[in-house]
Amino acid sequence: MKKLLFILLLLPFTGFGQCPTIGLPNSYNCSDIAQFVIDYPSCKNLPRTLYLPYTSGGDLTNYPGLDQLDSISGRLVCDECDITSFAGLSNLKYISGDLKIDEPHNFELDNFYGLTSLNYIGGSLKLSEWSLESTSGLDNLNNVNKIEIYECNSLTTIIGFEQIDTLLEGLYIDDNFALSNLNGFSSLQYIGADLEIRDNAQLQSLSALINLKTVEGELEIGKNPILTSLSGLDSVIPNLIESLNIHECDSLNYCALDNICEYIDQQYGISTIYDNNTNCNSILDISNDCNTITNSNLENSNETKNIVKIIDIFSRESKKLNNQLLFYMYDDGVVEKKIIIE
């Protein structure tokens, strides 16, 4: 009986025991994984952070055992790593923490080829000082909390984020010289923190952000010298923005979106606006342009309306008469009650 009880107590832990849970190092290097899979041949989850190799490692197929991993309960980090591609991690689907690529040393590494199975990043995607040309290779990614892309001066194409509609911790696109648009973010609807787009010398358009409705933090557009318009931010709900910072965009001359006008007029939060082009150079500049556009729209509306019918208070058709209450019916469906006094 005692022997049977001992076996039953062990049963619930059999599957869980395929992967180690105690006595673990703080992190693993790729060269450690061959021994890891020998020790735990049925384990597909690396229970700690994985660091990519610092010395010339070619592609990651040179490291036996990596292709056994389908998840990492930690981060995946390239900190000045030296690899030619991510091939070797083709079965990786899940990273519980950050995916960080910082200043890789091999210029052959210019996209995410090899990570095509990855669909979940529980933390941030951090890319910096990388000769990245395209974010291709992340086609199946459907969850990440934060995206930061800094000083990737060869980056021209953002793709692979078409399934991302929510970024809980913000979007930061800073100091990427060759980037001309944000087309990879066309599905983005919700940002639970800051939206920061700054120091992108060739950025021409924000139009890809047209589906973005919520920014629950600072909205900053700064030092993008050839950007001419804020069009693309039209759908952002103004009273959810914590602060508005538009600065040092030399060519920016159209800021009078309806939501930006409302944010400034209703003073929903702090507005910092300076050193842009005409119509966007200050809070007053934008406010004046907002009022000009509003008045122009009203005038155009009145000019294009045509009277379909005039009726009196007894619903009888009438012609224009002075000193009498009449109802003017227009072709846009509007009905106006008027008395023309003479």
pLDDT at 13: 33
Q: Are residues 217 and 320 in the same domain?
A: no
Interacting residues of 201 by C-beta distance below 8 A, sequence separation 6+: 177, 178, 224, 225, 226
Q: Are residues 188 and 322 in the same domain?
A: no
pLDDT at 276: 98
Q: Which residues of the chain have pLDDT under 50?
A: 1-17, 294-302
* Domain assignment of residue 41, yes or no: yes
Q: Are residues 177 and 326 in the same domain?
A: no
CATH number, position 27: 3.80.10.10
Query: Considering its fold, how many domains does the chain have in total?
Result: 2
pLDDT at 124: 98
Is the sign of the CA dihedral 183, 187, 189, 191 positive or negative? Answer: negative
Q: Are residues 248 and 329 in the same domain?
A: no
pLDDT at 325: 76
* Domain assignment of residue 213, yes or no: yes
pLDDT at 309: 79
Angstrom distance (rounded) from CA 153 to CA 139? 22
Q: Are strands 326-330 and 335-338 parallel, antiparallel or unpaired?
A: antiparallel
Q: Are residues 25 and 63 in the same domain?
A: yes
Q: Are residues 197 and 332 in the same domain?
A: no
* Domain assignment of residue 12, yes or no: no
pLDDT at 333: 63
Tokens representing 61 are 């197929």
* Domain assignment of residue 6, yes or no: no
Contact between 218 and 194 (Cβ < 8 Å): yes
Q: Where are the alpha helices (DSSP H) in the chain?
A: 2-10, 33-39, 258-266, 283-304
Q: Are residues 109 and 234 in the same domain?
A: yes
* Domain assignment of residue 53, yes or no: yes
Q: Are residues 175 and 232 in the same domain?
A: yes
Q: Are residues 183 and 322 in the same domain?
A: no
Contact between 135 and 114 (Cβ < 8 Å): no
pLDDT at 304: 61
Tokens representing 156 are 């021209």
Q: Are residues 330 and 181 in the same domain?
A: no
- Structural domain boundaries, residue 66: 21-301
pLDDT at 75: 98
pLDDT at 140: 94
pLDDT at 317: 78
* Domain assignment of residue 149, yes or no: yes
* Domain assignment of residue 8, yes or no: no
Q: Are residues 294 and 317 in the same domain?
A: no
* Domain assignment of residue 4, yes or no: no
Q: Are residues 287 and 227 in the same domain?
A: yes
